Amino acid sequence: MNERVIAVVTAGLTTPSSSRLLADQLSAAVADELSGRGISSRIETIEVRDHAHDLTNNLLTGFPSAELREVLETVEAADALIVVSPTFSASYSGLFKMFFDVLDDQALAGKPVLLAATGGTERHSLVLDFALRPLFAYLKALPVPTGVYAASTDWGPNAAGLRPRITQAAGELVAALHHETPTKSDPFTNPTPFEDLLNS
Amino acid sequence: MQFGVFSVGDVTEDPTTGVTPTEGERIKAMVAIALKAEEVGLDVFAQGEHHNPPFVPSSPTTQLGFIAAQTSKIILSTSTTLITTNDPVKIAEDYAMLQHLADGRVDLMMGRGNTGPVYPWFGQDIRNGIALAVENYALLRRLWREDVVDWEGKFRTPLQGFTATPRPLDGVPPFVWHGSIRSPEIAEQAAYYGDGFFHNNIFWPISHTKQMIELYRRRFEHYGHGAADQAIVGVGGQVFMRKNSQDAVREFRPYFDNAPVYGHGPSLEDFTRETPLTVGSPQEVIERTLSFREHFGDYQRQLFLMDHAGLPLKTVLEQLDILGEEVVPVLRKEFAALKPAHVPDAPTHASLKAAAERARQLETIDEPAVVAEPTAEESTR
């Protein structure tokens, strides 16, 4: 009962990728924060790269493959989300965006989200607030105030500077978990009665 | 159970030859397919309605009327009639006219159309798709059932003392199916009126189709038209057959890979696994189609998509021969053996006419009775 499920969506392309590295540090920090409050956690990490073909197929056919459907359902069912995109051409990557394009646009409503991005230089750090934040605002998610951006230097000389940002953001995500997520009505279980459709 | 074919009417290049039929050739090919369907013993020919290239059938009743003149048994239907962008007055008149010409061999499948730009060409907005389907169909029903209609709604000019002509053949409106891939509102609409529900069952996993049909059946019972398993269900399917499974796959693959809608996406193997598409031997098609019943219950109409993606007419006619000779006779027998007696067949003009006459007789003898959908023994096919 007292377990929280955190879905992690990371869109790095290489192995190992700095996006995955950041994703792992963020999810570990969130798990620590939760366990500090006596709450256990399950981390479900999704490498978007593994589903690149299925995502394209979903755009073309209009439905997800069985495997992708499972992944989308994992994200929808999670208590909170951590997302990490590499910065491509001053924004999130196309592959990252495709994942959220095929996800139902109500799937993230009311869900706390920790925004994170990686890039080659600190000069792209506003990608968090100028690209990711509007996307998740549109999806009616609840992005926490602190986003985490990691440039190449954050993995070397500035590593000590990254740590407190991760801790801060993880704390905010766990605090946001107390939000009640709105319950969604399933139109197949509770269809709108036809008289209402006729009279609307 | 009824078996038939439904045609989208796309003009698509044959990827194996680079040949694209002219619009005229494609229109005549659709006619040839309809005549072949009757010849090989199928029950239904249904065609789409489109108002944008690469599709040709913008005027279904012209084409179906032409086919009606050259056939005598097959039911002519649509897949689908655009209830959103057509004027319901024109639908009422066009299809009543067709009913008379075809001696009642007519039913319709309503659909909304998913091509955004089409709506404004007809003065509408795709965001009103559901509302248009609801209001227009409510008017269409009245136009067929009431001789003089006063009406006012949101989407068309009001009617005062209007009579749609001709009146439906024998005073019996054509049976209506409502087609929808993913909108629960349309399953609800079909259930409310006790009309048929059709799922094209082509582009989506079977679990989606099942969810829609289950909703329709449950609500059909809720609205008092009969038990859930007596609701009138139709589904689509898509097949390509050769005697040897491998030959079917080899021949169909280039058409699949370049097909409109799903081409250049998933592999043929992925798509046949994820959706009801079956490419293989007639026996494989029989087995797959019989398996639909396990998901959807006993249903009344099975249509196959046979002529699309640039398949040449000659190939399509060969496919219809296989369908009519080797597949449908087996399916007919197997489905009939499995169907319980209380599950009705799809209504036809004859069965609806008989039901209406019986209701009239009851009315003169007794108190006014509610007209029920026909029971199994009244449906003739």
Report H helices in A7-158.
18-36, 52-61, 66-77, 94-102, 127, 133-138
What are the structural domains of chain B?
A: 2-346 (3.20.20.30)
| Structure tokens belonging to residue B181 | 């891939």
Residues of B in contact with A191 (CB under 8 A): 184-185, 187-188, 215, 219
**B376 pLDDT exceeds 60?**
no
pLDDT for the residue B368 = 52
| Structure tokens belonging to residue B125 | 């907005």
Question: pLDDT band at A1, cuts 50/70/90?
Answer: very low
Residue boundaries of the structural domains of chain A:
3-199
pLDDT for the residue A186 = 87
Residue B207, amino acid: S
A187 touches chain B (CB under 8 A): yes
Contact B130, A197 (CB under 8 A): yes
Question: pLDDT band at B381, cuts 50/70/90?
Answer: very low
Work out the percent of chain B whose per-residue pLDDT is above 90.
90
- The mean pLDDT value for B252-262 works out to 92
Q: Which of B307, B238, B359 is nearest to B28 (CA)?
A: B307
pLDDT for the residue A159 = 86
Q: CA–CA separation, B132 vs B180, rounded Å?
A: 14
Contact (CB<8Å) B274/A188: no
Contact (CB<8Å) A66/B265: no
Residue A147 vs residues A128, A181, B105: alpha-carbon distances, Å: 6, 21, 65
pLDDT for the residue A15 = 86
The secondary structure element, H or E, covering residue B37 is helix B23-39
Q: CA–CA separation, B84 vs B111, rounded Å?
A: 8
**Domain A3-199 in this protein, CATH class:** alpha beta
Residues of A in contact with B261 (CB under 8 A): 60-61
- List pLDDT tens digits, range B199-212: 998 888 898 999 99
Residue A37 vs residues A2, A166, B374: alpha-carbon distances, Å: 11, 18, 65
Question: pLDDT band at B89, cuts 50/70/90?
Answer: very high
Contact (CB<8Å) A62/B134: no
Contact (CB<8Å) A60/B264: yes
pLDDT for the residue A179 = 61
A44-65 as b/e: b if 16+ CB within 10 A = bebbbbebeebbbbbeebbbbb
Contact (CB<8Å) A61/B265: yes
**B191 pLDDT exceeds 80?**
yes
pLDDT for the residue A166 = 97
Length of chain A: 200
Q: CA–CA separation, B277 vs B279, rounded Å?
A: 7
Which residue, among A197, A198, A200, would best test binding to B if mutated, counting the most B CBs under 10 Å from its CB? Answer: A197
pLDDT for the residue B15 = 96
- The mean pLDDT value for B276-292 works out to 97
Angle at B228 between CA B223 and CA B229, to 5 degrees: 150
> Of A62, A63, A197, which has the smallest distance from its Cβ to B185's Cβ?
A197
- The mean pLDDT value for B105-110 works out to 98
- The mean pLDDT value for B291-296 works out to 96
- The mean pLDDT value for A104-110 works out to 94
Residue A158, amino acid: N
Work out the percent of chain A whose per-residue pLDDT is above 90.
88
End-to-end CA distance of chain A: 41
**CB-based contacts of B9, cutoff 8 Å, min separation 6:** B26, B30, B47, B48, B50, B55, B56, B57
Q: In chain B, which residues touch A (CB < 8 A)?
A: 130-131, 134-135, 138, 184-185, 187-189, 191-192, 203-205, 208, 211-212, 214-215, 219, 223, 261-266, 270-271, 274
Question: pLDDT band at B371, cuts 50/70/90?
Answer: low
Question: pLDDT band at A178, cuts 50/70/90?
Answer: confident
> Of B211, B215, B262, which has the smallest distance from its Cβ to A61's Cβ?
B262
pLDDT for the residue A181 = 61
> Of A60, A62, A198, which has the smallest distance from its Cβ to B138's Cβ?
A198
Q: CA–CA separation, A140 vs B368, rounded Å?
A: 54
| Structure tokens belonging to residue B88 | 């319901």
Contact B229, A28 (CB under 8 A): no
Residues of B in contact with A66 (CB under 8 A): 205, 274
Which residues 94-153 of chain A have a CB within 8 Å of chain B?
none
The secondary structure element, H or E, covering residue A8 is strand A3-10
- The mean pLDDT value for B62-66 works out to 98
Q: In chain A, count of helices (H) and strands (E)?
A: 8, 7
- The mean pLDDT value for B62-69 works out to 98
**B153 pLDDT exceeds 80?**
yes
With CA atoms as reference, the chain B residue closest to A193 would be B188
Question: pLDDT band at B374, cuts 50/70/90?
Answer: low
> Of B185, B191, B261, which has the smallest distance from its Cβ to A192's Cβ?
B185
Q: How many CB contacts within 8 angstroms connect chain A with chain B?
A: 61
